Structure 1
Amino acid sequence: MTHKTKLSAISAVAILTALSAPMTASAQDAEFSAGIDYVTEYVFRGVSLADQAFQPYGEVSVGNFTAGVWASLSEGDGTDIAGDEVDLYASYSFALSDTVSLDAGITYYHYPQGGGLFETDGGGAGTYEVSLAAGFDAPFSPSLAAYYDLTIEAFTVEGGISHSVPMTDMFSLDLGANAGLVDGDGFSYEYASASASLSYALSESTSAYVGGNFVLSSEDSLNFDKLLAGGGKGDMAWFGVGLSTGF
């Protein structure tokens, strides 16, 4: 894969400013959330990026603005790209109507083993992505999102549905499915996945879950280091557990 686009340092400053802006608001106006997941396989848009991983995250929202940091800390020897990953993201949401909302965002994907923070030369240390997603207030909460990675020149479109089934006051069954296609510089593929998880409310603000996932991918593209070579795994199941809280 070739990498042609490199953003200037202005983009780095913009992201850092966006991430720090909510902190200037009063705690009364801001909402915070944090959590950690453990997954037996780190799969992103139909591609296996690593073996089992711990994935902590933190997020702050002020009004329609949201910013956060998410990380994947890999375990084992099966990592295919760069081992660890740290994502910085910011987004702004707004309603088009009573039933349609939009979310516009930017994400910086950083791979520490590939180089320093905000280095994008060749994409090895990190890439920038912009996105626009639509959510619909309808049965099964349908959504449609488009993503464009400016560094590796990859376009992704993904649609999804989700549904939560209350079982008791404390337990719920959460179901989801999505499908997407990726078109990049020298590669393309399609994928679809389904998930089911059992959530337990530990308190009004804290919950835990255990769940399973299954993904199908075209062109045997699930193993990234074999994507361009035309090999890899065409389907995969993996599992996860997690804890999240908000305040």
Structure 2
Amino acid sequence: MNIKKTILGASCANIALTSLALTSLTVTTPAYAGDVNWSLGTDLVSEYVFRGASLGTESVQPFVEVSTGNFTAGAWFSTQVGSSSELSADEVDLYAGYSVPLDGPITVDLGATYYHYPQTGALFATDDGAAGTYEFSIGLGLSEDTPLSPSVAAYYDVTLEAFTLEGAVGHSVGFGEKQGADLGLTVGLVDGDGFSYQWATASAALTHSITDDASIYIGANFTLNSDDNTLDLEKFADPVSGTAFLSATDDTLLWFGTGISTSF
């Protein structure tokens, strides 16, 4: 079953898409035309939270990404661990993006993502969002030299007819050659057919470079949500069918993540 429909309710059926939770820190080198860079890693999160909404409990979330020049493509996976894994579908996200540098520090990012739930349908089938959805995005970002590195992005899921607007700022602090801290704040709104909500997430992570090309992190996140879909995932049973499902019942959430990544 698709846990996203369960958590966000029938009015928000399958509001798809994923989160890297507190995104793994990927060490990369500058890419020039003809260069091919690979990045891979995995995260372990205490809660699967995406755009301010709980989509599952403890999850393992590996990824692989390749970039050349201004083009990037990758795959991201999520599967829950423990007893909750029996109640929710795995997720496989395939994505691609192209970065267009403008004059000055501004960059335009164009992207497309397919969100797929293997247990519920064939690859590239949509079935009203139960098996998968398609989303396109455009974003504006400033260079890392700009204070707080602000960015804004707009997303539209053509399957669910859902629009998302998201803004973010971040700051990194170094403690030495190998240790550091990353701080971030993300705010956004989601507006779909018959549903809408707003959220904000503050994040903090401690980082450590194992080698020049590999790093680990441990971090904490706190999310506020205008709707009751972020905290206290509880197990219920449908009184008619007896089907078990999970439901989120509050508007705040403290969740944690750790991960490792490398590039070559």
* TM-score under structure 1 length normalisation: 0.84
DSSP-derived class of the 1:113 partner: helix
Q: 2:148 aligns with which of 123, 140, 149?
A: 140
DSSP-derived class of the 1:72 partner: strand
Judge conservation of contact 1:86–1:110 (CA < 8 Å) in 2. Answer: yes
Q: 1:187 aligns with which of 195, 217, 221?
A: 195
Judge conservation of contact 2:209–2:215 (CA < 8 Å) in 1. Answer: yes
What residue is the counterpart of 2:124 in the other structure?
118
> One-letter code of the match for 2:163?
F
Give, in whole Å, the separation in 2 of the partners of 1:49 and 1:97: 39
Q: Does 1:235 align with 2:258?
A: no
Q: Note the 1:164-179 alignment, pairs <5 A.
A: 164-179=172-187
- C-alpha change, 1:172 and 1:231, in structure 2 (3 Å) is closer
Q: 1:94 aligns with which of 69, 75, 100?
A: 100
Q: 2:67 aligns with which of 61, 72, 90?
A: 61
Moved more, 78-87 or 104-113: 78-87
CA apart distance, 1:2: 7.9
**C-alpha offsets along residues 185-235 of structure 1, whole Å, 9 cap, x if unaligned?**
11100000010000000000000011101100002132699xxxx972200
DSSP-derived class of the 1:146 partner: strand
> One-letter code of the match for 1:134?
L
Judge conservation of contact 1:41–1:239 (CA < 8 Å) in 2. Answer: yes
Aligned CA RMSD, in angstroms, stands at 2.3
**C-alpha offsets along residues 89-108 of structure 1, whole Å, 9 cap, x if unaligned?**
00000112221001001000
- C-alpha change, 1:184 and 1:80, in structure 2 (3 Å) is farther
- C-alpha change, 1:81 and 1:155, in structure 2 (3 Å) is farther
Give, in whole Å, the separation in 1 of the partners of 2:38 and 2:260: 15
Judge conservation of contact 2:80–2:88 (CA < 8 Å) in 1. Answer: no
Moved more, 185-194 or 216-225: 216-225
Give, in whole Å, the separation in 2 of the partners of 1:112 and 1:89: 16
**C-alpha offsets along residues 114-162 of structure 1, whole Å, 9 cap, x if unaligned?**
2111110110010000000110132000000000000001000000001
Q: Note the 1:23-34 alignment, pairs <5 A.
A: 29-34=35-40
DSSP-derived class of the 1:122 partner: helix
Identity, % of aligned positions: 51
**C-alpha offsets along residues 27-86 of structure 1, whole Å, 9 cap, x if unaligned?**
962011000000000000011011000000000001010000000111134469843110
Aligned length: 221
Judge conservation of contact 2:12–2:195 (CA < 8 Å) in 1. Answer: no
Q: Note the 1:211-226 alignment, pairs <5 A.
A: 211-222=219-230
Give, in whole Å, the separation in 1 of the partners of 2:248 and 2:71: 41
What residue is the counterpart of 2:24 in the other structure?
none
Q: Does 1:71 align with 2:77?
A: yes
Judge conservation of contact 1:49–1:81 (CA < 8 Å) in 2. Answer: no
User: Which residues of structure 2 form unaligned runs of 5+?
Assistant: 1-10, 14-32, 235-246
What residue is the counterpart of 2:213 in the other structure?
205
DSSP-derived class of the 1:202 partner: strand
Judge conservation of contact 2:148–2:170 (CA < 8 Å) in 1. Answer: yes
What residue is the counterpart of 1:246 in the other structure?
263
What residue is the counterpart of 2:57 in the other structure?
51
